[in-house]
Amino acid sequence: MKKLLTLALGLSLLGAFAPAALRAADADTGGKKRAKLTEDQRKLRKEMVEKYDTNKDGKLNKEERAKISKEDKEKLEKAGLGARHKKGEGHNKTESPK
pLDDT digits (tens, 9 = 90+) for 47-67: 999 999 999 999 999 999 999
96 pLDDT more than 50:
no
Would 63 be classed as within a structural domain? yes
Give the number of domains in the chain: 1
Sheet strands (E) in 1-98: none
Would 1 be classed as within a structural domain? no
Domain enclosing residue 49, as ranges: 39-78
Would 92 be classed as within a structural domain? no
Predicted confidence band of residue 10 (pLDDT cuts 50, 70, 90): confident
Sheet strands (E) in 15-97: none
Would 60 be classed as within a structural domain? yes
Would 87 be classed as within a structural domain? no
* pLDDT, position 39: 94
Would 54 be classed as within a structural domain? yes
Instruction: Calculate Rg over the CA atoms of the chain.
Output: 24
Q: What's the mean pLDDT in 15-43?
A: 73
Q: Which residue has the higher pLDDT, 20 or 70?
A: 70
